[in-house]
Amino acid sequence: MCGIAGMFSLEEGMAPPTIDQLSRMAAALQHRGPDASGLFRDLRTGLAHTRLAVVDPAGGQQPLGNASGTVWLVFNGEIFNHVELRAELEAQGHHFRTRCDTEVVLQAYERWGPAAFERFNGQWAVAVWDARERRLVVSRDPMGIRPLYLCVHERRLYLASEVKAIFAAEPSLPRELDPVGLDETFTFWTTVAPQTVFRGITELEPGHTRIYRAGHPVQDHCYWRPRFPPEVEPFRGSLQEAADAVGQALREAVKYQVTRADVPVGSYLSGGLDSSLIAAMGRQRVSGPFFTFSLRFTDAEFDETKYQRLVAQRIGSEHRELLVSRADIAQAFPHVIAHTERPLLRTGPVPLFLLSRLVKESRLKVVLTGEGADEVFAGYDLFREAKVRRFWARQPHSTLRPRLLERLYPYLARSPVSESAMARRFFGRNLAGWQEPGFSHAPRWHSTSALKRLFSPALRETLKGQSAIDRLRSSLPEEFGRWGALAQDQYLEMRTLLSGYLLSSQGDRVLMANSVEGRFPFLDANVIALAATLPPSFKLRGLDEKHVLKRAGRELLPPAILERKKQPYRTPDASCFVEPAAREWVEALLSEPALDDNGLFDPRAVELLWRKCLTEAGRGPLSNADNMALLGVLSTQLLHFQLVRRDPERSPALRNGSLTDLLPLPLRALP
């Protein structure tokens, strides 16, 4: 895995990128690729690369060019079917100098052009400078596992794996948080590509290829998106046949992702079904020691130690654990925001950042994870909730049907179904719209949008008349209305939370912060394609989530794992920041001068929220809304001072002392 960056002149006659600019971009991405770096430059284009050597350590140097020097690329990711593609290309007369999948990408592009990306099974972000066609081609994998940011400024295109590299290239580039991006974050928990939280910077959408030519319009091509029946042929076999097929597809995915690396591969192990199944399959593919890594929490509410140890003992892994406290989360939070480059409404990425550090200290570069299973096989309570609400909507006056809601969210200390009357009001909103797009997600979006009460009057005025939900609905594919209800729900979860949060803030960013590559067997192209064809009842059987996946894991996992109630990965949130050790820098960021520095939040509303958190923290768990609100403001403030304001020492917010001295992460160290 790597970091990529580049610059491309969008008009004739411009000065070429400088070596200094490209070097600064590479330096900003050093954590993504500590093993090597390289630059390419000609009169129109500059490319930069930092490398984490996973496949063919001796032969994968980038930027990589073809024999004639007319095509150059930088590539971040892994192509798991590169062996098969190499054989196909060799049969057509191609000759290879290395064993690296990067050269397969290069020669596949030479053979098939931008259509080559449709043949890949993997996770990637790539930029190709084709001097023959005088075009720059960029592409991103179907699920958005690997990031790619784009910015056009003064007739020049900047691209990079992370926004900080774009900022490093050009000091004059405007730095400003985008109100639309904040609106989406405080609705969906994240931005939805191509939107980002930085004005003027976009994110290439998953499953897209884009072509730039000087003096020509940009060409966008969506080469992949989720497809469900009736677009694709539905699975015709029995439930057991489906379970067998799912198990086989997963075993194949794990085989590719374990064996197609020239370094040892370990696995995360949460103790839930998904990670346990992947770890068990990974163990079968490794003849020597196989390492598993788990998080433990000093807060018993979030701890799953007994299940993790049960699986580790069952599969015979070398098991390593990391115990995380609230203080650990608060101390690492500023570091994580610097890497995620977006506001967070949860602290979930922080322990995973600390866990990837443990992986690095264990001298591993690659870990498997169970991410994606909930989206692909309908594992979230949100899917069960939507099913109950649609069932209730058919008889809205029923008193029995809403009782099914009581089966949801048993793991939450302040569950939204704990009080019957409150649950009916919350989940019963707009039952008449049960056939409308987004019905499944409406309760979440509604409750998150309530946090916008903290926005400043100026920001609310800027956003007046705009709707993040309406924008999302208007971008849905034409076929969306012909899919079944569960398929629609799955698509929305993939489009929003999976790519923008789970694979980014909880995935790539916190893994690569410590130079660790994550691999995601549940997001293998063949696994996704198979799962999409399965009848909804195979995935969500009654209210039993991921039913077919549980059947597929019967021979590998103990009953205690297969039968346990779902407990999604959760972490302490706002309670981490009311601890005395964190309070000084937190209060500095939430002070009126600091809030006025960007004008995004209402100081009075934030002060009331902070007082409420301090008062209620000692009485028990804070509400979900207060947790998200505090985290949202705090992380946005950190983002502002870390990546937007280039001279934090001069801010009026800091006239009574240096915030850079209070924060665990020195702001002046960022580009």
Which 3 state secondary structure label does DSSP give 151? strand
- Chain centre to alpha carbon of residue 168: 23
- Which pLDDT does position 318 carry in this prediction? 96
pLDDT confidence of residue 243: 97
Are the beta carbons of 85 and 102 closer than 8 angstroms?
no
> In the chain, what's the furthest Cα-to-Cα distance?
74
HSE value, Cβ hemisphere, 13 Å, CA-based, for 39? 15
Beta sheet of 122-130, edge-to-edge order: 64-65, 71-79, 122-130, 135-140, 208-212, 219-222
Give Cβ neighbours of residue 42 (< 8 Å, ≥ 6 apart): 16, 129, 131
Query: Of 284, 355, 287, nearest to 314 (Cα)?
Result: 284
At residue 670, the pLDDT reads 41
Q: What are phi and psi of 290, to 5 degrees?
A: -125, 120
| pLDDT reported for residue 511 | 96
This prediction's pTM:
0.93
Q: What is the DSSP letter of 196?
A: -
CA angle centred on 652, ends 648 and 657, rounded to 5°: 70
pLDDT tens, position by position, 552-569 = 999 999 999 999 887 888
Rounded-to-10 torsion of CA 205, 209, 214, 216: -90
Q: Which domains does the chain have, with CATH numbers?
A: 2-175+193-222 (3.60.20.10), 226-437+476-564 (3.40.50.620), 574-669 (no CATH)
Whether the Cβ atoms of residue 257 and residue 370 lie closer than 8 Å to each other? no
Beta-carbon contacts of 650 under 8 Å, excluding residues fewer than 6 positions away, are none
From residue 173, alpha-carbon distances to 153, 181, 182, 375, 493 in Å are 7, 18, 20, 37, 33
* 182-224 per-position pLDDT tens digit: 999 999 999 999 999 999 999 999 999 999 999 899 999 999 9
Buried residues in 592-613 as b, exposed as e (16+ CB within 10 A): eebbebbebbbbebbeebbebb
- Look at residue 348 in the predicted model and tell me its pLDDT: 96
Please state, in angstroms and rounded to a whole number, the distance separating the CA atoms of residues 143 and 124.
10
Sheet containing strand 36-41, strands side by side: 36-41, 45-51, 2-9, 156-160, 149-153, 201-203
Name residues of the chain where pLDDT drops below 50. Answer: 648-658, 662-671
The position carrying tokens 């001069």 is 650
* pLDDT of the residue at 657: 44
- Specify the residue for token string 């370990």: 266
